[in-house]
Amino acid sequence: MLTFTIRRLVLAVPTLLFISLVIFGLLQLAPGDPMAQVPLTVPPEVKEKMREALGLGDAWYIQFWKWIVQFFWVEPQVLVDYVFGTSFSEDKLRVLSWQTRSPVMEIVIQRIPQTLWVVGTAYVVAVLIALPIGIYSAYKQYSVFDNIGTFISMIGFSVPPFFSGVLVIVIFSVILGWFPSIYDTTHQVTDWDSFVVQLRQMIMPVMVLALQVTAQIARFMRASTLDNLNQDYVRTARAKGLGERVVVLSHVVRNSMIPVVTVIALGIPQIFGGAIITEQVFKVNGIGQLLITAIQANDLPMVQTLTFIFAVLIVLFNLIADVLYGILDPRIRYD
C-alpha cells in the first residue's frame, strides 16, 4: 500500500502540471480584457504601462512559467517563513491578483474559513442523514419509507442549487421569517448567543448543499446494501442463529460501506463546486464567490489559482478513495 501511495503521489505531479497548463491555455483563449475595468479617463499610454506591469506583454509560455515558479516555489517559501520565522521569500514576487494587486493566496486563506464552515457542515450533515436512510430503505425495500426516500432523492438529484436556494429563501426567510436571507461573513462567534446566530444563518445554505449530497449517497448506500442482503454469507449468518440487528449492522453494513466510502471521498471536491453557486445565492463571502468575482473582472491569476486548487482536491481525494478502498476491502492488493 505504501508503494502504491508513493507511486500515485509521484504520478500526480505531472498530472497536475498538465492540468495547470490546460487551465492556463483555456484562460488565455477566453474573451475579455483585464484593462476593461480601468476608467475611460485613463490615457492609453498609462494602460499600456499597466499591461507591462502585469506581464501581459510577455509570451504565453513566459507568463505560464512565471506562475509555475511563483505558485510552486515562492508560495511554499512564504509558508515556511510564516511558520518558522525565516526570510526565504523576502523580496520575491508572489502570485498577485490583477483586481486587488495583493497576493492571491492571502485572499484565498481569508476566504477559506467561510467556505469550510458551510461546506464542511453540509457534508457531515449529508453523510449522517444519507447512510441510515440508505440502509433502512434497502432493508425495507418497496415500503412506504423506501418510496418516500426515493421520491426525495429524485428531487435532490433534479433540483439545481440556484433554484432550491432561491426557493428556501422565499419560504423560510421572506414568508416565514425564520432565518436571515444573507450570510453575514463578518459575524464572529464569541459566546453562546453569537453561536446560535451563526447556526441560524448557516441552516439554509447547508440545507441546499446537503440536499444533493444526501440524495446521491443515500441511493448508493441503498443499492450497495441491497446487493449484500442477498449474498450467501448473510444467509449463513442467519442460519447460525445471529440476530437480525447483528447480521445487518455487523455484516451487511460493513461490506456495503466499501463502495460508499469511495463515493463519499470523491464527493468532497464536488461539493466545493456546488458551493460556488450556493455562495452566490446566499452571499457567502467564500472562495466560490471569489472565483465568480475574479471571472467577471478577468482576474486571470486568481482564476488560475482557484481552479488549480480545485484540481488538486480532485486528484488528492481520488488517491484517498483508492487507498481507503484497499484498506476496507482485503481482497484488493495494489502492491
Same domain assignment for residues 118 and 242: yes
Same domain assignment for residues 198 and 82: no
Residues in the chain: 335
pLDDT tens per residue across span 157-167: 788 888 888 88
Residue 3 lies in a domain: no
Same domain assignment for residues 236 and 183: yes
Residue 19 lies in a domain: no
Q: What is the structure's pLDDT at 7?
A: 80
Domain final residue pick, 97, 116, 137: 97
State the angle between helix axes of 287-296 and 300-328 in degrees (0 to 180), rounded to the nearest 10.
140
Number of compact structural domains in the chain: 2
pLDDT at position 38 over 70: no
CA dihedral 218, 181, 161, 136 (to 10 degrees): 10
Same domain assignment for residues 210 and 265: yes
Same domain assignment for residues 140 and 257: yes
Residue 72 lies in a domain: yes
Same domain assignment for residues 249 and 267: yes
Residue 26 lies in a domain: no
In the block, which residue shows the cell 482576474? Answer: 299
pLDDT at position 115 over 70: yes
Same domain assignment for residues 209 and 288: yes
Residue 32 lies in a domain: no
Q: What is the structure's pLDDT at 60?
A: 79
Exposed, middle or buried: residue 307 (CB in 10 Å: 0-12, 13-18, 19+)?
Answer: buried
State the angle between helix axes of 287-296 and 104-139 in degrees (0 to 180), rounded to the nearest 10.
120
Residue 119 lies in a domain: yes
pLDDT at position 123 over 70: yes
pLDDT at position 333 over 70: no
Domain final residue pick, 58, 74, 97: 97
Q: What is the structure's pLDDT at 37?
A: 66
Residue 2 lies in a domain: no
Of the candidates 110, 30, 29, 13, which has an alpha carbon nearest to the alpha carbon of residue 68? Answer: 13
Q: What is the structure's pLDDT at 202?
A: 84
Same domain assignment for residues 165 and 229: yes
Residue 16 lies in a domain: no
Same domain assignment for residues 119 and 224: yes
Same domain assignment for residues 90 and 111: no
CATH of the domain at 110: 1.10.3720.10
pLDDT tens per residue across span 263-291: 888 888 877 777 788 877 888 788 888 88
Q: What is the structure's pLDDT at 335?
A: 57
Same domain assignment for residues 111 and 238: yes
Same domain assignment for residues 85 and 161: no
Range of the domain at 77: 38-97
